């Protein structure tokens, strides 16, 4: 990709994805599932369209293009796809042959729902502070005890990538990643009533048994599993945000070009035109940073943590601004339940928090910058 502009095949693929999202995925999203639960027909359709398999056969840039394109037309489809990738990527990257053979075909086929279980009531963005304990229970066996909270797809997922503390007091070095099927004894969950339209829940672990066969990667090396996954998905969270910002911008262009007010069209008011120009400027800047971060990931750039954090930070903050401005320019109609911007307004807030809040992204950026400066 030269200077972060898309080639004709990529542009055509994005247009195709937007059309698929509008024609085949949005109707399923609008039918919805039960409140607070996974829309399994939507996940299954993502599998039938071959989109879920691309999560594990494409690079970071292709993932970003998929997420941006789907988000523009159907945020529910975008989120369903992304959550499958987030929950199952550790299995793809660190799983044993048996783990991969058991779960990945079902994930890509849309018949099994995955979830990434990292956050806890007392350890949201501070992943190294997690307290879910993995108590030894014989050789290469543990019992998981504690809670996870704000877990997307919980409690409906068929399996969870769970991060637990195997070595107390060791910070990030004492965390292990486990693949835990939802039917494992002692595991229970409940949905949470959240602002975001997609399902989010809590998980309770009551001495849930796990063995060496459930470990993803190596014992006490689970933090690396988590960070590797997040470094891939953080730029694509930015792509999700860019897709929402573009949808809001497109709606605003159409509205201000047609809406008559004060003896003319809204677009003829300089204050309105300048706001729309600012929305476009910020959206394009965020898009370019997302593409740059994804390209750096695909190239194996050692600076990926900083670039990924910058992309997520800029894009999610930008989308919040663009959607909010779009609502303001539309007026009260945008606040009516069912309006595109009402939907985007609820969707756009959460990405500034999950997979590392904006404040965490700034901390990562600063840490990476100062790591290059020699101490006096």
DSSP state of 212: G
Q: What residues contact 75, with CB distance under 8 A and at least 6 apart?
A: 197, 240, 243, 244, 343, 344, 347
H/E segment holding residue 133: strand 133-136
Q: How far apart are CA 37 and CA 22, in angstroms?
A: 22
Please name the residue ranges forming H helices in the chain.
Answer: 8-20, 26-31, 40-48, 60-73, 75-94, 97-109, 222-258, 270-298, 304-330, 340-349, 358-370
Backbone angles phi, psi at 70, to 5 degrees: -65, -40
Closest Cα to residue 307, out of 237, 373, 231?
Answer: 231
- Which one from 45, 120, 347, 355 is the annotated catalytic residue? 355
Sign of CA dihedral 195, 200, 201, 202: negative
- From CA 290, how far away is CA 362, in angstroms rounded? 16
CB neighbours of 93 closer than 8 A, spacing ≥ 6? 225, 228, 229
For residue 159, give the H/E element and its range.
strand 159-165
CA distances to 97, 177, 233, 297 from 314, in Å = 38, 29, 15, 17
Separation in Å, CA 194 to CA 137, 295, 363: 36, 34, 27
Q: Let me know if 68 is a catalytic residue.
A: no
Give the C-alpha separation, 133 to 167, whole Å: 9
Determine the Cα–Cα distance for residues 58 and 270; give it in Å rounded to an integer: 44
Q: Is the Cα torsion angle 148, 151, 156, 160 positive or negative in sign?
A: negative
CA gap 83, 199 in Å, rounded: 11
Which active-site residues does the annotation give?
355
């Amino acid at each position: 990709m030269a200077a972060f502009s898309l080639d004709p095949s990529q542009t055509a693929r994005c247009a195709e994805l937007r059309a698929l999202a509008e024609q085949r995925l949005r109707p399923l999203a609008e039918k919805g599932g039960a409140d607070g639960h996974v829309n399994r027909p939507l996940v299954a359709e993502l599998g039938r369209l071959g989109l879920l398999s691309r999560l594990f056969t494409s690079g970071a840039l292709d993932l970003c293009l998929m997420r941006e394109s789907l988000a523009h037309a159907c945020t529910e489809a975008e989120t369903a796809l992304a959550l499958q990738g987030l929950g199952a990527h550790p299995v793809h990257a660190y799983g044993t042959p048996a783990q991969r053979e058991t779960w990945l075909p079902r994930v890509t086929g849309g018949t099994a729902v995955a979830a990434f279980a990292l956050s806890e009531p007392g350890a949201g963005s501070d992943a190294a502070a997690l307290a879910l304990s993995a108590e030894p229970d014989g050789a290469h066996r543990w019992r998981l005890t504690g809670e996870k909270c704000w877990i997307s797809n919980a409690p409906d997922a068929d399996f969870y990538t769970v991060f637990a503390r195997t070595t107390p007091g060791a910070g990030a070095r004492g965390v292990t990643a486990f693949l835990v099927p939802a039917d494992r004894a002692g595991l229970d969950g409940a949905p949470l009533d959240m602002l975001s339209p997609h399902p989010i829940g809590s998980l309770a672990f009551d001495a849930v048994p796990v063995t060496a066969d459930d470990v993803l990667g190596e014992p006490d090396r689970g933090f690396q599993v988590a960070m590797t996954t997040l470094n891939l998905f953080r730029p694509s969270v930015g792509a999700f945000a860019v897709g929402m910002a573009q949808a809001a911008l497109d709606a605003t262009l159409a509205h201000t070009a047609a809406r008559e007010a004060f003896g003319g069209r809204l677009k003829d008011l300089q204050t309105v035109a300048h706001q729309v120009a600012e929305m476009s400027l910020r959206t394009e800047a965020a898009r370019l940073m997302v593409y740059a971060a994804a390209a750096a990931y695909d190239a194996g750039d050692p600076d990926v943590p900083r670039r990924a954090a910058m992309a997520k930070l800029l894009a999610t903050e930008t989308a919040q601004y663009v959607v909010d401005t779009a609502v303001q320019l539309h007026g009260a109609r945008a606040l009516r339940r069912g309006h595109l911007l009402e939907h985007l307004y609820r969707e756009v807030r959460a990405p500034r928090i999950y997979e590392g809040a904006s404040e965490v992204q700034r901390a990562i950026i600063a840490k990476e910058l100062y790591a290059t400066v020699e101490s006096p």
